[in-house]
Amino acid sequence: MKKIAIALSVALLAATAYILVGGDDGLGEMTLKRLRGDVTVARAGEINELDDETGIEPGDRVTTGSQGRAELRLLGGRVVEMAPGTILTVVSSTSVDGLAGSLLVSSEGRDEVAVGFGGVAATTSEGVFRVDLGTGSSRVGVYDGTISVSSSGDSDVTIERFFEAAVAGNKRVLQPGPLQIDEGDAWDQIHLSDVLALDARITKLGNGLASQLGGSRPGVDYFSTLVNGPVGFVKPYLSDERVPDLLIGFTIARNSDSAIRSAFVRSFDLRGDDGRWGVIARIMSAPERRLVAQLGRTIVGTGILTAEAAKETSFGPTSEAVGSPASDGGSTGGTPAAAPPPAPGGSGGGDGGGGAPPPGNGGDDPAGEPKPPPKEPGCPENPLACPENPPIGDDGGLDEVPESPLDGAKSPLD
């Protein structure tokens, strides 16, 4: 009798535990939570509408409606958020297959998580990335960490933070390029709020400069004076790039960890791949406070903010007006200084497999207020790199004129 009683007790405990972890709803360690709108789960031929939260198991197909959002928690620190209009199948406690829509995938504690789509699998053990699925082409963009994308017959492609790659025909991974941002996308607002703020600030400075410059363009001597050294590598860019872009790209290069020549060339290579300056600055590890302050002081160094300079701006003996031949004998012309910057957002990557990747569908409303940009540590001991942030007016100009980095130096601007 005693053995029978013990056996009954064990069975009762097992049944209680089964109920607590979800019973018929699936495995307790995997859960699906409805965040808003319509969310349905298809299992064994039955489709059930989700009201709040349920257990989930391999083989389940989850669908969010046109206004639906859901959060799928796999084993450990693996989380998959589903945007409106998304369909996925749960493969295992560590992986899903994306069928349509957009997924935001994150992993903590070195728990590897994988998302398959078409003939491709994207995996990470510690990072945050998004997958935007299309019929002809998709894209994979990385907010944090590093991910690996594999496809049959090809070598794995590594995508770093602030980069994305198009997947042609959902089979072939193309060369990664700078992450494309959409200010209206909820996930971009949450995970790239500091990048958006930085991009807006330096673009505002650059456009304010463009509106005041008139037709003058900087020459090699001007940039040489800024760093007190030879900068012949800027010559090929002087006639083709907008003046604000030249100053922004040069200032990013000055504040990167790489040699200024290679940093400058890489900055404009990324720009040529439709990279926005805020993203490029992050890729190049240029500290935000120093970058904005030094850019402001560099602009002041042109002399354009004074009444006299507004009549006739000079960038030194090698300066040329817009549309005149470059000082090194290069091609004519260039884009007018006041031309607008590249359009934000959209899908990146090349073609070659059925069209461009779909735009991000991270959402129509952010899941929370954007986080403020992180505070940066103190600057190195450099009088040109450690001023306070220059105050920027509504027109993009400086409300107050900070000290110019060219003060006290022999300058071609004199």
131-188 pLDDT, tens digit each: 999 988 999 999 999 999 998 878 899 999 999 999 998 889 999 999 999 999 999 9
Q: In the chain, how many domains are there?
A: 2
Residue 367 pLDDT class (50, 70, 90 cuts): very low
Q: How far is it, in rounded angstroms, from Cα 18 to Cα 24?
A: 9
More confident residue, 315 or 112: 112
Domain-embedded: residue 3:
no
Q: Same domain, yes or no, for 101 and 200?
A: no
Render 219-241 in DSSP notation, one character per residue.
-HHHHHHHHTS--GGGHHHHTTS
Q: How far is it, in rounded angstroms, from Cα 280 to Cα 295?
A: 15
Q: Same domain, yes or no, for 218 and 103?
A: no
Q: Same domain, yes or no, for 50 and 118?
A: yes
Helix (H, G, I), strand (E, B), or coil: what is residue 197?
Answer: helix
Q: Same domain, yes or no, for 306 and 238?
A: yes
Q: What is the pLDDT of residue 283?
A: 97
Q: Same domain, yes or no, for 212 and 114?
A: no
Domain-embedded: residue 350:
no
Q: Same domain, yes or no, for 229 and 163?
A: no
Among candidate residues 115, 146, 178, the one where a domain is terminated:
178
Q: How far is it, in rounded angstroms, from Cα 30 to Cα 42?
A: 15
Give the CATH number, domain containing residue 64.
2.60.120.1440
Residue 395 zone, left/alpha/beta (φ > 0; ψ -120 to 50; rest): alpha
Domain-embedded: residue 86:
yes
Helix (H, G, I), strand (E, B), or coil: what is residue 101?
Answer: strand
Per residue in 281-339, pLDDT (tens digit) is 999 999 999 999 888 887 776 655 443 333 444 465 554 443 333 333 333 333 333 33
Q: How far is it, in rounded angstroms, from Cα 302 to Cα 314?
A: 7
Q: Same domain, yes or no, for 244 and 122?
A: no
Q: Same domain, yes or no, for 141 and 209?
A: no
The predicted model gives 95-117 an average pLDDT of 94
CB 196 within 8 A of CB 278: yes
Domain-embedded: residue 360:
no
Residue 8 pLDDT class (50, 70, 90 cuts): very low
- Residue range of the domain that includes 283: 193-345+369-414
Chain Cα centroid distance, residue 237: 25
Q: Same domain, yes or no, for 173 and 291?
A: no
In angstroms and rounded to an integer, the radius of gyration of the C-alpha atoms of the chain is: 27
Among candidate residues 178, 213, 242, the one where a domain is terminated:
178
Which of 45-59, 202-216, 351-365 is predicted with the least confidence, judged by mean pLDDT?
A: 351-365
CB 217 within 8 A of CB 313: no
Q: Same domain, yes or no, for 198 and 148?
A: no
Q: Same domain, yes or no, for 42 and 129?
A: yes
Q: Same domain, yes or no, for 169 and 201?
A: no
